[in-house]
Structure 1
Amino acid sequence: MASRQPQHVPYEPLPNLTDSHHEGLYDPSSPDPQSLSFHNTPQNYPVDLPDDIPGSRPRFLGAAATEAGFSRDSYASGQTYHSYNDNSSSVYQLNPPSRNESPVPGRQGAGSVYGAYKDDPREYGSTQDMALSSMGGAPRYLEEKRTAYAPPRAKSKRKLMILAGIAGLILLILAVVIPLYFAVFKPKGSTQNDATTGGSSSAAQPSSTQGSGTPGKPSSAVVTGGDGSKVTTEDGTTFTYSNKFGGFWYFDPANPFNNYAQAQSWTPALNQTFTFGTNRIKGVNLGGWLVTEPFMQVGSSPALYEKYPSAVDEWTLSVAMAADTANGGLSQLETHYKTFITEQDFAEIAGAGLNFVRIPIAYWAIETRGNEPFLAKTSWTYFLKAIEWARKYGIRINVDLHALPGSQNGWNHSGKLGDINVLNGPMGLANAQRSLDYIRIIAEFISQPQYADVVVMFGITNEPQAPVIGQNNLERYYLQAYNLVRTASGIGAGNGPFISYHDGFLDRTQWAGFLPGADRIALDSHPYICFGAQSNAAMSTYATTPCTTWGSSFNQSMTAFGMTGAGEFSNAVTDCGKWVNGVGLGTRYEGNYTGYTTSSGSCTTWTDYQAWTPATKAATMQFALASMDALQNWFFWTWKIGNSSVSGQIESPSWSYQLGLQNGWMPLDPRQADGTCGNTAPWNGPLQSYQTGGAGAGQIPASATASIVWPPATISSGGAASLLPSYTPTGPIPTLPVPTFTQSSSKATISAGNGWQNPSDSAGAMVAIATCSYLDPWVGPNAAPPSPLCSGAAKREVPEPTITPAP
């Protein structure tokens, strides 16, 4: 900031603030410091502040007469805190530089326990203090601040020096980095999302620290930090947080549902609105964690698929593990959950410039039935940990229901390799009914205010096979899911998650105009090159392939459908990699995959990344950047892949974002991708208002749903739905458990919700009718339905299809 003559301006008087927790202490007519309209500057964000501010209110005011230990919003100044003496009150918080260590990494000491003063909005994220006055190295408060205010009670310079020395000593003893600048972000909405917390966590929340504080406000136990700060995890281990993009982590054990953290300076903090269509999704999948996949855990720790030769999917893996009691049985899967993805992964994801994670989960996170061998309910505990860690590092979640009962696509990552039994075959209707229940249960949980600002997107079904199921029946299912999610969360005003629909492997143009007026829906595509025709051409020949293949069509879909993104893509241009296609199924590239007899060469060229030349890495980087630019909103598949227990290295390097970062073929800053395709007219938005929950959201014309009523009259490979097994909504509905917390203060209340947002949503779960017959949910499409279907007078009828009204 250039030196300039001081502009002496009138300063606003310090108000007597209201405080709901100390009624009668302050003037009730004064504004609430946490209200949306209360700021010490008229601007909402630092970048909006003008270079010169004559006539405006002062920029440095941070703490006024607020409750001890809590900050008053000041976007321009960074955060300052109310204290117990006049010398460090809001007026005199801007202390001159001293020798004490700054709590903000990389900055000079500011003479304040609570951090350096930041006057210039352009200084945000900088490591250098900007001069305020024209007095060279003079302390920045001398002209502007002392002109407006007389000093506090007369104190000697020696006492001031002693106080500063004590503050510095405290910092050295604590050795805690506290860049308390989170208050520069305006909380979104009211403080509803962090107003019912307190205590320290157990179970799915870190419990290594104890703290108390006023719900909804930072407490004395708050731990936060930016680049270079030390993080202590739940088990006591530590690591150094590395984030060069202005992001910071935040965890307050007394207020575990706060949303102050920010992944990067360009990504809205969790207590701000992420505007889909304007803000870009730069995300990564946590594939292979809560839903296993053979090529991602060929080994890992503990060894999974390589250890059990009969395992080709999680069904057979679970059967093999359960029989292996000597090595822990099925509990080995929980060991995998604990070790494959940890808190440090979330920290690294934020530090990589990524702002979203897509987390596949399976229906068995909720329950299993009959002979289904999966480890039931356990993975949900770790999804709760994912929410906690994402909240701590300012990352948003897209939760993706990856596996449905009976399988929606017949692939190994749906739970069981083989047949499609959702909306296909004799159990197709019953399995779809059951799947919709699971969508409803998840929607009710993530719509609770404690979780809604973290889990902002819900992929209701991963990769259903529309060519088998039929687009019309898939649309019926999608509309039913829409109604269930919106019943849980409510229509408009940002209530509940974006609903993400996979395109079912149909051309994106076939979804144009689907559910016009729907409230916050998104189209999800998975553009992979590697599963088509194979080529031994060098990686460098793919430099612009994503641009020419994907860019235009994604632009068009953003207009014709609405929010469109890539839920999955990778750097793979061949299907090389151990078990990428499945255990023992070979590869197209080497000509030993079913239907392929011509070899394009050896896969070693594509899998031995340790032998890749700088040119190969540069070409892979170029492909990654082109993909990101063409797709615009994306989730790379996947964050990490486990090492093989045989070779000791990753066998599918083109699929690991983390490996690419470590070896130089993924960008350290994903913003490098912008403009790679040379697109002179990228889709810049914004989305139409109703598509983001604004005016008109949820007003779907009846004509748009007339042909997609539920249930379907016929089922692919099954025939008339009235002749097929179906369920009835009379069972007890499972409710997902919430994390638990330990009370640390009798005055603090803790509410993690009850797992169910809408108490009016009281229908039962879909269960079998006692007098009717059913097949195994995984029976396959060629089985004949039971005959007779139901006995005597108790024969059930499939209800006539009706249009389900919007909530």
Structure 2
Amino acid sequence: MAQPNPHPSNNIQYDPLPLTQDQDFGNQLYNAPPSPGPGTPNFSTPRIGQHDLPSDMALPAGAGASQPRFLGAALYSEGGPQSRDSFASSQHSLHGGDRGSEYNGSVYALNDSVGSRTLTGSPYRDDPHDGYYGDNDQGHAMSPMGRSTAPKYLGEKQAMYAAPKSKRKVMILAVLASLILLILAVVIPLYFAVIRPRSNAAAGAPGSSDPAKDQDDPKSTAKPVSALVSGGDGSMVTLDDGTQFKYVNSFGGRWYYDENDPFNNGAKAQEWTPALNETFKYGIDRIHGVNLGGWLNTEPFISPALYEKYASATPPAIDEWTLSQAMRADTAGGGIGQMEEHYKTFITEKDFIEIAAAGLNYVRIPIAYWAVEVKPGEPFLEKVSWTYFLKAIKWARKYGIRINLDLHAIPGSQNGWNHSGRLGTVGFLNGPMGLANAQRALDTIRVIAEFISQDQYKDVVTMFGILNEPQGTTMGQDALSRFYLEAYNVVRAASGTGEGKGPYVSYHDGFFSRESWANVFGQADRIALDSHPYICFGGQSDAPMSSYANTPCSIWGSSFNASMGSFGLTGAGEFSNAVTDCGLFLNGVGLGIRYEGTFKGGGARVGSCDQWTDWQNYSPSMKSDIKQFALASMDALQNWFFWTWKIGNSSVSGKVETPAWSYQLGLEHGWMPKDPREAAGTCKNANPWQPPLQAWQTGGAGAGQIPAAVSSSLAWPPSVISNGGPASAVPTYTQTGPIPTLPGPTLTGTSMTATPSVGNGWANANDNAGYATEVAGCSYLDPWVNPASAAPAPLCTGAGVRREAQPVPEPTAAP
């Protein structure tokens, strides 16, 4: 049984895979050792220490020193859619504390099983029934209006028996003809300008009844192409840059964007996914999502070219901190502006079109605290990434995709891995600046929550992952739980409680067992549990891909099934197709690969990575085996976000070097399913978890009822800070600083008739406490100081550490 300790890299247990020694696959025996555990002879944890790193990449020593991401630095211890109004729009869519561990490593360093227990035969979630996703609505085109003409026989009769002409009659006929022409001159424009558009709106079509026909018919009086606001499969959509792109979506999705109604939520990703102005029924409607990793929060293995450019710099670029330093020093090469160029080009509007076309209905977007603010000495590009997140909101709204905003990096680092901004130590709730950094993180959460809870954005950004992968064993589950409850209160103060009132609050499990989080927060309103199960960072095996066909079903399915019943909404915020640690920079820049025996933490060579990374030469059977693994993962995990959508090319090889991590590449080359619904039933479970979730878990009756005993036992702040001592003995900030309110988008258009409100960035006007800042006249340690450092003397503590709960706003009607 693993015990929490201040050095979480010690004694890490890795989950055993359902593989045995010398398994027979075909006619060849493969050595498939179980993942090591404390009971395994010659057990040693893949870890990294000061002596394992090159001299120019040394990690800080002392308490809380962390290994790079993926290196195991943490322990796991034991009815139809309902229509809603779109903001400012009349358009609606009517379519449809146990410490016994089952986990033993970091989400980037871990396998995910149940230790000595077996999951074989246990119930897990899948649903092979086709009706699970709801009925498909079928549209019915209106019959075209026929034209009436005078019967032929009547014309012939009039010609043969014409009456003698009279001047008086000619004058009367002329007057009548003039009146008819006058009436037609009034009625025809009225029909096309008023009656026909209203008819289309009443029929549920947000734009022209047949945009393609209107474009092709030279006699059409409909809006020009640039004014079209909606379309389905095969329609031409105008992108932000003014170019046109063919919208391809064979799943019945439709795009929608009207510059005069930019917050309309009528778009729909697929026929089976509720439109943004309809209710997504969590627990019934499955989340089929993908991460946009490495975009607004860079990672070396996702965007290797950024880091390869500065591999020889002093120091070398190994995380966004050192990358930003190298860029700022390279003014001739573009300076820090290279980071914004990455934001512009790595993910674009076309990616959102492709994501919807792939049958995916959610994106998880990692962002960092420097999207909100930085302190002097922090080299990150401040606030610019937020402007690109605003673009993501616009594109997601346009194509009917919901967003899970994930706070991926906070001051001081929550895990010491490169994706937290700086590789090294854990400074969150750990060490002398641990509480002050947590205060600052809470204010970052607060500023973001106030923005996304505004009516203009709440139906698009529907989930908020408040902290990615905190290394729970460093700060302890009690301290992490207190932070989580305080963050929950911050979000709910911004948004209110009840269905549709702001985002779900998503908690990462902190590498503790999923079971240990059941009932911790009472009937908290709309919370979700996020786990990141990976297979590839335990003991390496030369077993073929085919041997992993049902591994996800046996090691993940039962646990996720149980958590859906005990905690509520549970999902995998990250998973991949990788079963080995092969790939450029996957373990970190310059840290090597376990599989090939080059890993800085040691370990014997298993084989060459070529068979795993040479995707251009994958055989049909290899692609089929990877796809089978992906389908099993999707079915076992139920609600998921694949990590990640896109991997950039290496600047050295000119190709993707970590193919198991790219959903896009798998779609293009045949090892990812074209339709994620294909996964349903892969695990062949006979006793799945049965929806729905309990009412309070989805914002219904009883939501938000947190017992006083729970609130008291998890009061903020913690009484003791890991490696820092009593909370009263470490520096804290005062809540008196100016609030860095986030701006809304800049709306532009060629035919805008008015400028809609983008909001003021603050949903709850009663939330008026200041931002965490230094006490005047006091000195503070660097937020990134080594956690083993002593607290400053004299000690400076700020007022307002115990922040008062802000009033929850009353429901208000949207304009």
Q: TM-score range by the shorter chain?
A: 0.7 to 0.9
**Residue in 2 that maps onto 1:318:** 324
Do the aligned partners of 2:247 and 2:353 also contact (CA within 8 Å) in 1? yes
Which letter does structure 1 place at the counterpart of 2:428?
V
The answer to whether 1:411 aligns with 2:417 is: yes
Q: Secondary structure at the match of 1:706?
A: helix
Instruction: State the Cα deviation string for residues 154-203 of structure 1 (Å, max 9, x = none).
Output: 77699xxxxxxxxxxx9xxxxxxx9x98977799xxxxxxxxxxxxxxxx
- Matching residue of 2:451: 445
Aligned partner of 2:771 in structure 1 is: 765
* Paired position in structure 2 for 1:780: 786
Look up the match of 2:719: 713
Which of residues 639, 646, 649 is equivalent to 2:652?
646
| CA deviation string 1:589-611 (max 9, x = no partner) | 12222433211111111111112
**AA of the residue aligned to 2:390:** L
Equivalent residue for 2:353?
A: 347
Residue 681 of structure 2 corresponds to residue 675 of structure 1: yes
Deviation at 1:684, TM superposition (A): 3.1
Q: Could you tell me which amino acid in structure 2 is paired with residue 648 of structure 1? A: G
Aligned mate of 1:685, from 687, 691, 710: 691
Distance 1:561 1:788, change over 3 A: same
Aligned to 2:249: 243
Alignment partner, residue 500 of structure 2: 494
Contact 2:569-2:693 at 8 Å conserved across structures: yes
**Distance (whole Å) between structure 2 residues aligned to residue 247 and residue 181 of structure 1:** 18
Contact residue 136 and residue 271 of structure 2 kept, 8 A? no
Determine the C-alpha separation between the residues in 2 that align with 1:271 and 1:711: 38
Q: Is 1:732 the counterpart of 2:757 in the alignment?
A: no
**Letter in structure 2 aligned against 1:753:** G
Per-residue deviation, residues 224-252 of structure 1 (Å, max 9, x unmatched): 22112222212233322211100011111
Give distance in 2, aligned partners of 1:685 and 1:465. 32
Residues in 1 aligned to 2:280 and 2:259: alpha-carbon distance in whole angstroms: 25
Residue 553 of structure 2 is aligned to residue 547 of structure 1: yes
Establish whether residue 377 from structure 1 lines up as the match of residue 356 from structure 2: no
Give 3-state SS (helix, strand or coil) of 2:673's partner.
coil
Match of 1:665 in 2: 671
Q: Secondary structure at the match of 1:741?
A: coil
CA displacement 1:747-783 (0-9 Å, x = unmatched): 6351110100000000000100013321000012111
- Aligned residue number for residue 458 of structure 1: 464
Cross-structure match for 1:697: 703
Q: Given the two structures, how large is their TM-score scaled by the length of structure 1? A: 0.73
Q: In structure 2, give the amino acid aligned to 1:550.
A: W
C-alpha deviation, 1:469, in angstroms: 1.1
Contact 2:738 2:770 in 1 (8 A): yes
Query: CA separation in 1, counterparts of 2:582 and 2:524?
Result: 40
In percent, how many aligned pairs have the same letter? Answer: 62
Structure 1 unpaired stretches of 5+ = 1-42, 47-68, 77-120, 131-138, 143-150, 159-169, 171-177, 188-217
**Counterparts of 1:600 and 1:123 in 2: how far apart (Å)?**
49
Gapped regions of structure 2 (runs ≥ 5): 1-78, 83-88, 97-133, 153-188, 190-196, 207-223, 810-815
Higher relative contact order (CA 8 A, sep 6+): 2
Whether the 8 Å contact between 1:186 and 1:271 is mirrored in structure 2 is: no
State the AA in 1 paired with 2:486. Answer: Q
1:663–1:744 distance in 2 versus 1, CA, 3 Å = closer
Distance 2:754 2:767 in 1: 30
Query: Partner letter of residue 229 of structure 1?
Result: S
**Rounded Cα–Cα distance in structure 2 between residues aligned with 1:307 and 1:750:** 49
More displaced 10-residue stretch of structure 1: 224-233 or 623-632: 224-233
What is the identity, as a one-letter code, of the residue corresponding to 2:535?
I
In 1: Cα distance, 2:288 partner to 2:151 partner: 52
Aligned to 1:258: 264
Is the 2:291–2:641 Cα contact (8 Å) retained in structure 1?
yes
Aligned positions, number: 627
Residue pair 1:706, 1:803 contacting (<8 A) in 2 also: no
CA RMSD of aligned residues (A): 3.1
- How far apart are the structure 2 equivalents of 1:628 and 1:305? 37
Q: Structure 1 CA distance, aligned partners of 2:93 and 2:355? A: 28
Q: 2:596 aligns with which of 587, 590, 602?
A: 590
Question: In the alignment, is the contact (CA less than 8 A) between 1:283 and 1:355 conserved in 2?
Answer: yes
What is the aligned partner in structure 2 of residue 367 from structure 1?
A: 373
CA contact (8 A) 1:290 1:360 kept: yes
Looking at structure 2, the residues matched to 403 and 157 of structure 1 have their Cα atoms a distance apart, in angstroms, of 78
For 1:582 and 1:744, locate their aligned partners in 2 and report how far apart those are by CA, in whole Å: 47
Task: Select the residue among 585, 595, 606 that pairs with 1:600.
Answer: 606
In 1, Cα distance between the equivalents of 2:500 and 2:365?
A: 21
**Aligned residue among 382, 393, 397 for 1:387:** 393
How many angstroms apart in 2 are the aligned matches of 1:295 and 1:356? 23
Q: Distance in 1 between matches of 2:730 and 2:151?
A: 88
**Is the Cα contact below 8 Å between 1:298 and 1:305 reproduced in 2?**
no
SS in 1 for 2:683: coil
Q: CA deviation at 1:539?
A: 0.3
* CA distance 1:45–1:557, shift in 2 (3 Å): closer
Matching of residue 535 in structure 1 with residue 541 in structure 2: yes
**Once the 2 structures are TM-superposed, how far is the Cα of residue 70 of structure 1 from its aligned partner?**
8.4
The amino acid of 1:274's aligned partner reads F
**Counterparts of 2:718 and 2:803 in 1: how far apart (Å)?**
7
CA distance in 1, matches of 2:610, 2:95: 54
Q: Give the Å deviation of 1:788.
A: 1.6
- Structure 1 runs (4+) deviating above 6 angstroms are 43-46, 69-76, 180-187, 743-747, 800-807
Partners of 1:45 and 1:408 in 2: CA distance: 39
Contact kept? 1:306, 1:645, Cα under 8 Å: no
Written as runs of structure 1 = structure 2, the 5 A alignment for 1:618-657 is 618-657=624-663
Q: Which secondary structure state, in structure 1, belongs to the residue aligned with residue 713 of structure 2?
A: coil
